[in-house]
Amino acid sequence: MYAQLVETGAKRLKTLEEMSPEEREFQEKVDAETKIEPKNWMPEGYRKTLVRQISQHAHSEVVGMLPEGNWVTRAPTLKRKLQLMAKIQDEAGHGLYLYSAMETLGADRDEEIEKLHQGKAKYSSIFNYPTLNWADMGAVGWLVDGAAIVNQVVLQRTSYGPYSRAMVRICKEESFHQRQGYQILLDMMREGTEEQKAMVQDAINRLWWPALMMFGPHDDESPNSQQSMAWKIKRKSNDELRQMFIDQTIPQLEFLGCTAPDPDLKWNEETGHYDFGEINWQEFYDVLKGNGPCNRERINTRKKAIDEGAWVREAAVAYAKKQKQRAQAA
């Protein structure tokens, strides 16, 4: 996942009558569930919204490697180390795959990454929280990948073909990560020492609310949501997705023998869903604006990697050019 608050440029939705013939044809195609492909005509707003959403998603995969990189050098066993390394490698792969999908819309990967480094592009707020103990590697897999999957399973039906296809592939790997994450926690809760169990609960306490924030603000506070839904870039509302996530996660939480840091959390017989407390939206917007615990570190690390790697990339280009010249001369 990992796209929150994607700007659509829309203040309100256009009616079919207000649309140009091209727009109308496009909207009818979307309504008929025909996938939009790179060469099809599309409204500029649709293209821009998708570029924003897919690039946010790609940035999130890449920035999301950092909180895990924080523990990959300290993973406790060979098995856990290998699993975490494979997960990180998958995420780099997802990033590449998503940037490619984004480039089918005429956007440039380097330009979008530059926007990220300048603080102009977003990535999921969750990765601005620190990973403070080993159980975070389990909780990130279970809750963060779990929240991402809820969103992405729906995005498999998103209207833009290349994005939809990327989601199908990414979902498979994310599900695997989620099960692995849960297993880390389950093993510690079942066979671990008291200290290990305390680590698990501590990780859940810290990551619970940020995971719920991953779904973005309430729908009634988001005109962008409505436009994205009309274009079928988004298929379900933020609140619907958040509720789905909570409903499926609480039984897993209980099975672990852990609790959520929410006194208002309880099963509602009438609605058939869990009720839960209000998210601290001030914190959400603070983190989104750059005032989370790790915003600065995450961006600095990424920027430093790309800046300090400039000479490496330049060398690769220069070498390729020389090789080409040699081949032509031969």
Partner 1 sequence: MTQAEALKEYLLRLADSDMILGQRLCELCGKAPALEEEMALMNVALDLVGQARNWYEYAAELIDDGRDADKLAFRRDAHNYRNLLLTEQPNEDYAVTMGRQFFFDVWHYFTLKSLTGSSDERIAAIAAKALKEATYHLRRSSEWVKRLGDGTEESHQRMQDAIDILWRFTGELITPDDTDRVLAEAGIGPDPDQLATDWRGMVNEVLTQATLTPGAEDAWMYMGGKHGEHTEHLGFILAEMQFLQRAYPDATTW
Identify which range of 29-37, 240-248, 262-270, 306-314 contacts partner 1 by CB under 8 A.
306-314
Identify which range of 185-193, 202-210, 247-255, 264-272 contacts partner 1 by CB under 8 A.
185-193
| Near partner 1 by CB under 8 A: residue from 74, 169, 172, 266 | 74
Identify which range of 24-32, 65-73, 142-150, 249-257 contacts partner 1 by CB under 8 A.
65-73
- At its nearest, how many Å lie between partner 1 and the CB of residue 212? 25
DSSP per position, 274-325:
EE-PPP-HHHHHHHHTT-SSSHHHHHHHHHHHHHHTHHHHHHHHHHHHHHHH
Q: Does 296 bind partner 1 (CB under 8 A)?
A: no
Q: Does 294 bind partner 1 (CB under 8 A)?
A: no
Structure tokens at 302: 């990424």
Q: Does 327 bind partner 1 (CB under 8 A)?
A: no
Q: Burial-class residue 118 by CB neighbours within 10 Å (0-12, 13-18, 19+).
A: exposed
Structure tokens at 3: 């796209």
SS3 9: coil
| Near partner 1 by CB under 8 A: residue from 77, 271, 282, 328 | 77
Q: How many residues bind partner 1 (CB under 8 A)?
A: 52
- At its nearest, how many Å lie between partner 1 and the CB of residue 201? 16
* Angle between helices 223-230 and 44-63 in degrees, nearest 10: 110
- At its nearest, how many Å lie between partner 1 and the CB of residue 125? 18
| Near partner 1 by CB under 8 A: residue from 52, 57, 80, 234 | 80
CB-nearer residue toward partner 1: 12 or 326? 326
DSSP per position, 128-192:
GS---STHHHHHIIIIIHHHHHHHHHHHTT-SBHHHHHHHHHHHHHHHHHHHHHHHHHHHHHHH-
**DSSP 8-class letter at 216:** -
Q: Does 111 bind partner 1 (CB under 8 A)?
A: no
Q: Does 89 bind partner 1 (CB under 8 A)?
A: yes
| Near partner 1 by CB under 8 A: residue from 310, 327, 329, 330 | 310
Q: Does 293 bind partner 1 (CB under 8 A)?
A: no
Residue 283 vs residues 60, 151, 291, 292: alpha-carbon distances, Å: 19, 22, 9, 8
Q: Identify the helix (H) or strand (E) that includes residue 78.
A: helix 78-103
Enumerate binding residues for partner 1 (CB under 8 A): 62, 65-66, 68-69, 72-82, 85-86, 88-89, 92-93, 95-96, 99, 134, 184, 187-188, 191-193, 195-196, 301-302, 304-306, 308-316, 318-320, 322
